[in-house]
Structure formats: structure tokens, C-alpha cells
Amino acid sequence: MTNGGGEGGSQRRELQGKRSISRGNDFAYAVIRMAAAQICESVEISSYQESQTREGLRFSSFQETALETLTDVVIQYIQNIGKTANFYANMAGRVEGNALDIVQALEDLGSGLGFDGAHDVDHCLADSGVVKDIIRYTGEAEEIPFVYSLPRFPFNRGKRPAPSFSEIGAEPPDEHIPIWLPAFPETKMSNGSEETNVDKIEGDVQSRENGPSLSSMQQSVDVDRLKVQKSMDQKDVQKPTEEPEPEGNPFLAAPLWVGEKNVSRVFPPSELTKEEIRTNHVPEKYMSKSHHIPALEAYALSDKINDKNRLAETEDGQKRDGGRTERALLRFKIGTRKASVCWTLNQCLEEKGWFQEDGYKREKKVEREEKRESIDADVK
Amino acid sequence: MNHGQQSGEAKHEDDAALTEFLASLMDYTPTIPDDLVEHYLAKSGFQCPDVRLIRLVAVATQKFVADVASDALQHCKARPAPVVKDKKQHKDKRLILTMEDLSKALREYGVNVKHPEYFADSPSTGMDPATRDE
């Protein structure tokens, strides 16, 4: 069937916008649309021409909006049957629907148009006129199977419940966590390989259309996932005691534990020339008080982006050969606007002169970078 | 006892038609796939593990659509044919499912589909320029 003309472009856009509200599931909608078109195509009325030959008139094409309207009506019809049948089932005190519930629902929906025996309220439901109409229809109409073969619908992906601690066999980290709760998710490193396994499993699942039922597929996926998780858990547990594997991706290797590898100590440089000083950094302060350095380095970690930028600039020009250590000295150039925060914290912690008379003025000045020298004066 | 048996048999006969039909439904494949019908039924709260009931709903829906389509076809055919030349008098008229016919057919089933005839850019579009207020 081909699409008939007669509809303007703006009209179609308008209706598409409206329909996107009511249409929730695109795939189901498209399938119903095709099924409705197939049924329309098969409808035929016989007519007698003057030459007394019987002709079967059929629809040769349809308007797009007409078909979409019909699809909406079909969806509403099915939902109405379901709602009414569920209503009748609940009235009878049942949760699951019955054949007679559906017959009653069909009677309700067909009562507008009427059917045989509608007037008879006490008749047996199984003998209802609606059922007879349907039986007659199936006897007369030709059987039209759906055009495409569909995979099992709706396709349930990724709804596997997380396995509990007891299923994995792992112990919950704390006492207050019961064992039947789902296990904690893995860390990023172990998740990388786990996800590839899960993707493979899902790929297998998708390739079979008429495979086993969804529950068995989910079970097999669950088992596989559990196996993967178990292996990951064991690996996690063993990590602190064993050395990391030398093979494999070095970027995915576990971080080193403290004391695991001998790292040369970084000595602070004896001289920090003024050339290296930026306008908003005062290194002399740190020379006088060496215990500031760890504190500052701790804050430096939060300014990683700026540090890395400056490290790239300064590292090349400041490598010192021989001397104290084999490693190149890295200088952290901290001194952006963000550092004002660490400055205030530093002041609060270290300087007791904060609450002096001058300290009140400095509280405002700390917010700006240019007034760093005045603080320096106060310190000295 | 006999009366009871007879009434029981009568009931059994009434049910027999339905049960036979449900059994025969497994041979008949409705156009609307089962999974889809089940999805929409579940969406409105109707749960049933029996496939035959799903097929019953699917067949009922198919019958509904067929009835609507046949009514629309009647309306379409009943419309006066456009003027054709004598030579092409026996040419088959191409029938198109239009919104007009569909809305007339659905009207009988209690579904009101009112379709606007055209869309205008502004309220004064298409009016006589002399009478238009500017």
C-alpha cells in the first residue's frame, strides 16, 4: 500500500507533535500501525458491476493521518479491554483475569453498537453474542499473520537484580550490613573487564529470536555475572597481600600501597629564586617554616589542573643534575584564585594573629590576590 | 438428579462453544502479535498467564478494526464518483482511506474523531481583502 496524498506538510508536523505526547512506545506503535494497515488491506466489499461480475473492492492506499488515528484507536481499544476485564476480575475478588472477564469486557465495549442477545441480562456469558460474532469472524475472514517476525517483546535488558552478599559469598564490610542485601558495586577497575563479559552475553542473547524463555536467559546471564563478580572479589581481596600482575594494561594496574615500592624522597630545593615566583605566590614563607609544605601540598592536590599546567612549563627549565637526588625536582606553582581559599584556611590554622585588630582588615584582603604581600609582612 | 445432570450438561454445552473456540485459537494466528497485545493489556493492569485469552483479545481487536475498515470502505464507495470520460468509464476507482470516511465510521462505534479541514496562519487568512481589518 502506498501513502495517499492530500495532507499538507504543516499539518503532519502539527499532528506529530501532538502524537508524541500520547505515543509512549515507538516500537509498539509502529508494529500496531503495520498490523492495522494489513487488516485494512484485507477488508473487501463485493460489488456487482453492470456486467454482473463480482468485484472485490479494497483500499489501495491510505492517508497517513488516517492510519495514525486508527492506530491510536486500536491501542486505546486494547487498553480499554484490559482495563474493563481487570475491573471485572477485581469485582469478583480475583487478581488474574478470566476468559469470562474478557467476554464481559467485550460486551461492555460492544454495547454501544449492539450485539445479539444484548437485551438478555441473565444469559450465560459463554454463550454471549460477542463470542459468536468472533467465532463467525474467524471462520469467514482469511488468516493474515503479521508481516515481520518479531523478537520476543518487550525485550527485557539489564534488569537483573544485583546479587546479594550471600550469593556472591563475600562478607559485608561492616557489621551493620546484613548479608541478604545486594553487594556493593565493584570499583572502576574491575568493572571494566566485567562489562565486556556482560556485553558478550547480551550479544548472544540478542542473536536468538526464538530462543529459550526470558527467565532462563536471565538466569544464565545472572550466573555468568555472578561468576565474573566472584572472580573480581577474590582478586580484590588478594590485592593488598600480593604484588600486582606484571602483565596486562599498566594503566589498569592497581594503585600502589604505602610502603610497597621504594620511592626516593623528595628534598626541598635549597634555593627558590625570585624568578620563579609568580605574582601571587610567596615561597620565602615556606622556607622559614618547613612544616607548611605538607599542608600546602595537601591543598595543592586540589588544584591539580593549574598545577599540571605550570608543571609542564617549569619542569623543563628546572631540572638539576646530580646534586641531591636522581629525580627531577618538581615545583608546585600554586597561586591561582583558588589558592585564596587555602590561604584563608592556612591563616586560620597557623596564624594566631588572625584575631588581632589588623587581622580583621586582612580578612577582606585575603579574598584578593594582590594583597598577598601585606599578609607576608604580618607573618614576618 | 436427572434434572441436575441435565442442567449440568446444558451448562457444559454452553461452555463447549467457548472452550472449543479457545482451543481452535491456537491454530489461528491473529495479525496483531501476541507480545504486543500482552504488553498493552499489562499496561492497563490486566494480567493473565493464558495465551489463549491474549489471542482472544487480539482476534476481537482484529474484528473491530475490520469492521471499522469495512464501514469506511462503504462510505468511500458511496461517495459520488468524480466525472470520468466515457472511454475510461470502467477504470477502477482507487479507494483511499481518508480521515473523513474514518471519522464517519468511527462515529458509530462511539469514537469521535473531529478533524479540522484546514489550518490557517492567522484568523484573517483567506478572507476578502476588502473586509479584512488592518
Report the 10 Å Cβ neighbour count for A58.
15
Q: Report the pLDDT value the prediction gives residue B94, as an integer from 0 to 100.
A: 78
Contact A88, A104 (CB under 8 A): yes
Cross-chain Cβ contact B119/A127 below 8 Å: no
Contact A344, A359 (CB under 8 A): no
Q: Along the 380 residues of chain A, how does pLDDT read in single tens digits?
A: 545 444 445 555 554 554 544 556 788 899 899 999 988 888 877 665 555 555 677 888 888 989 999 999 999 999 999 999 999 999 999 998 888 889 889 888 887 677 777 777 777 777 777 888 888 888 887 777 776 766 666 666 666 777 777 777 777 788 888 888 888 877 776 545 544 444 444 444 444 444 444 444 455 444 555 554 444 444 444 444 444 444 567 777 788 887 777 777 788 776 655 544 444 444 444 444 444 444 444 444 445 555 555 544 444 444 444 444 456 677 777 766 555 555 555 555 555 555 555 545 555 555 555 555 555 545 54
Q: Report the pLDDT value the prediction gives residue A289, as an integer from 0 to 100.
A: 47
Contacts of A106 in chain B (CB under 8 A): 60
Q: Which of A39, A85, A134 sits opposite B31 (nearest CB)?
A: A39
Rounded to a whole number, what is the distance in angstroms from the first to the last CA of chain A? 91
**Taking CA atoms, what residue in B is nearest to A90?**
B46
DSSP A93-107: T-SS--HHHHHHHHH
A residues 85..124 contacting B (CB < 8 A): 85-86, 89, 95-99, 102-103, 106, 112-113, 124
Contact B67, B111 (CB under 8 A): no
Cross-chain Cβ contact A63/B65 below 8 Å: no
Q: In B26-50, which residue ranges form alpha helices assigned H by DSSP?
A: 34-43
Question: Does ipTM exceed 0.95?
Answer: no
Q: Looking at this protein, which amino acid is placed at residue B123?
A: P
| Cα–Cα dist A243/A226, whole Å | 25
% chain B with pLDDT above 70: 76
**Taking CA atoms, what residue in A is nearest to B60?**
A134
pLDDT in tens, B78-124: 887 666 555 555 556 678 888 988 999 998 888 888 888 777 788 88
Q: Please tell me the distance in Å from A224's CA to the nearest CA on chain B.
A: 27
Q: Report the pLDDT value the prediction gives residue A336, as an integer from 0 to 100.
A: 61
- Best of B9, B21, B77, B97 to disrupt the A interface (most A CBs within 10 Å) is B97
Which residues, at least 6 apart from A117, have a Cβ–Cβ distance to it below 8 Å? A123, A127, A128, A129
pLDDT in tens, B21-31: 888 888 888 88
| Cα–Cα dist A135/A240, whole Å | 72
Q: Could you tell me if A6 lies within 8 Å of chain B, comparing CB atoms?
A: yes
* DSSP count for chain B of H helices, then E strands: 4, 1
Q: Please tell me the distance in Å from A126's CA to the nearest CA on chain B.
A: 5
Q: Which of B39, B44, B65 sits opposite A74 (nearest CB)?
A: B65
Q: Report the pLDDT value the prediction gives residue A88, as an integer from 0 to 100.
A: 93
SS3 A337: coil
Q: Could you tell me if A156 lies within 8 Å of chain B, comparing CB atoms?
A: no
Q: Please tell me the distance in Å from B17's CA to the nearest CA on chain A.
A: 7
> Which of A294, A278, A279, A298 minimizes the C-alpha distance to A341?
A298
Q: Could you tell me if A187 lies within 8 Å of chain B, comparing CB atoms?
A: no
Task: Inform me whether the pLDDT recorded for B16 exceeds 70.
Answer: yes
Strand pairing class (A54-62; A2-3): parallel
- Best of A111, A120, A131, A138 to disrupt the B interface (most B CBs within 10 Å) is A138
**Taking CA atoms, what residue in B is nearest to A105?**
B57
A residues 27..56 contacting B (CB < 8 A): 28, 31-32, 35-36, 38-40, 42-45, 47, 49
Q: Please tell me the distance in Å from A340's CA to the nearest CA on chain B.
A: 57
| Cα–Cα dist A191/A198, whole Å | 10
Q: Report the pLDDT value the prediction gives residue A213, as an integer from 0 to 100.
A: 47
Q: Please tell me the distance in Å from A204's CA to the nearest CA on chain B.
A: 21
Q: Looking at this protein, which amino acid is placed at residue A181?
A: L
